[in-house]
Amino acid sequence: MELNRNRRSMLSGAMALGAGALLPGRVLAQSRSLVAATFPGTWSEAHRAILAPAFRQRTGATVTQSILLAQDQVARLTAAKGGKPPFDVAIFDAPQVPDAIKAGILAHYPSDKSPNYGDLLPAFQDPWGPTISMQVIGIGYNPKRIKVPPTSWDELWDPKYKGRVGLTALNSQLGIAFLAELNRVRGGSPDNFDPAFKALKELMPNVGAVAADLGAFATLWQQEQIDIAPYNFNFVQTLKSKDVPVELAIPSTGAAGWKTSMHLVAGAVEPDLAVQYIDTHLDPVVQAAMLKSPYDVIPTNRKVALAGPVTLAIAKTQDDLGKIRGFDWAAINPQRSELIARFNREIQQH
């Protein structure tokens, strides 16, 4: 394996953070540097603008971002297993966590070394790493054309929306989450997705487009080619910041979503810094800053008062967030490839 300094200097697509002047009274420890994975887009921007400076102020150390999707993080850590991992901190959405645990690429999170961990609701505490935020799915709609917010998933099947419903392929987290929620609503189970696929086939006369990926899905909204579709909170907020007419409604069946968590990587080069970095993400001041536009990152620290768009669409209190329904990813993940193939075969190609 490469030396520690080489693996940091050669990270593809990574960017060094915290390279500005030192804060008064703080001495930067030589060679103290952390490599932390982050997601592209809003996540990397929030981590660069808010988390990295707070971490530097706390520790005097610098952090380098490795910008990767969750599945790519799992692949790289698995490939490096037994040697020096390419980064010290991983960030996963809930579906990737069971796979990462099974692969043996995570270390247990030392909550006793994480002062902010105790301020998380029990639903957001986990021995493998704390929940730092969550994503909630609902019904995206164009308020220019749909004056009354939808209250049920069933409205997507209303004939008045013929040709105006959008879907996204199952290669996205949004796509697979909607399939799982639809399956639950229509009486299916994690080992029987027939009800969901039956419902999707019945929906097709209303579907104007099936986007190949989330970028193409956003374009459909921007060009107003669709009026109603499954969507999630953060994507809606991102489009609204670009003056795209879109809002999010939560169905009467309740909010559903998935957690986003941070993890100490097994064999991390800087385990102590990694824990401090994760704990800094749990800090109420940091989470309150990330809750504000343009990031709109849903907080998990109970000391953060919810405010802004999240209170209109998702939850009024932290307790409300803790009640959001999740999915059985341990049961869904082994079927994911077949579900994608079935969707492509039965839905996307028709």
* Domain of residue 147, CATH code: 3.40.190.10
Q: Which residues of the chain have pLDDT under 50?
A: 1-30
Same domain, 318 and 334: no
Same domain, 213 and 333: yes
pLDDT of residue 31: 58
Distances (CA, A) of 208 to 81, 102, 153, 262: 45, 40, 17, 37
Give the separation between CA 104 and CA 3, rounded to whole angstroms: 22
Same domain, 245 and 264: no
Amino acid symbol at 51: L
- Closest-CA residue to 347 (of 167, 137, 165): 167
What is residue 16's three-state secondary structure? Answer: strand
Same domain, 343 and 201: yes
> Rounded to two decimals, what is the model's pTM?
0.86
Count of the separate structural domains present in the chain: 2
Give the separation between CA 72 and CA 59, rounded to whole angstroms: 28
The range of the structural domain enclosing residue 171 comes to 137-256+327-348
Phi, psi of 90, deg, nearest 5: -110, 150
pLDDT of residue 318: 87
Phi, psi of 264, deg, nearest 5: -80, 125
pLDDT of residue 348: 83
Phi, psi of 89, deg, nearest 5: -125, 130
pLDDT of residue 75: 97
Same domain, 102 and 20: yes
Same domain, 72 and 127: yes
- Tell how far CA 99 is from the center of its chain: 16
Do 206 and 199 touch, CB atoms closer than 8 A?
Answer: no
Same domain, 199 and 338: yes
What is residue 290's three-state secondary structure? Answer: helix
- Residue 137's CB: how many other CB atoms inside 10 A? 24
CA dihedral 337, 340, 345, 350 (to 10 degrees): 180
What is residue 118's three-state secondary structure? Answer: helix
Phi, psi of 130, deg, nearest 5: -75, 155
Same domain, 57 and 157: no
Same domain, 119 and 262: yes
Do 72 and 92 touch, CB atoms closer than 8 A?
Answer: no
What is residue 258's three-state secondary structure? Answer: strand
Same domain, 50 and 190: no
Same domain, 215 and 340: yes
**Tens-digit pLDDT profile for residues 271-301:** 999 999 999 999 999 999 999 999 999 999 9
What ranges in 194-270 are assigned the alpha helix state H?
194-203, 214-222, 233-240
Same domain, 30 and 78: yes
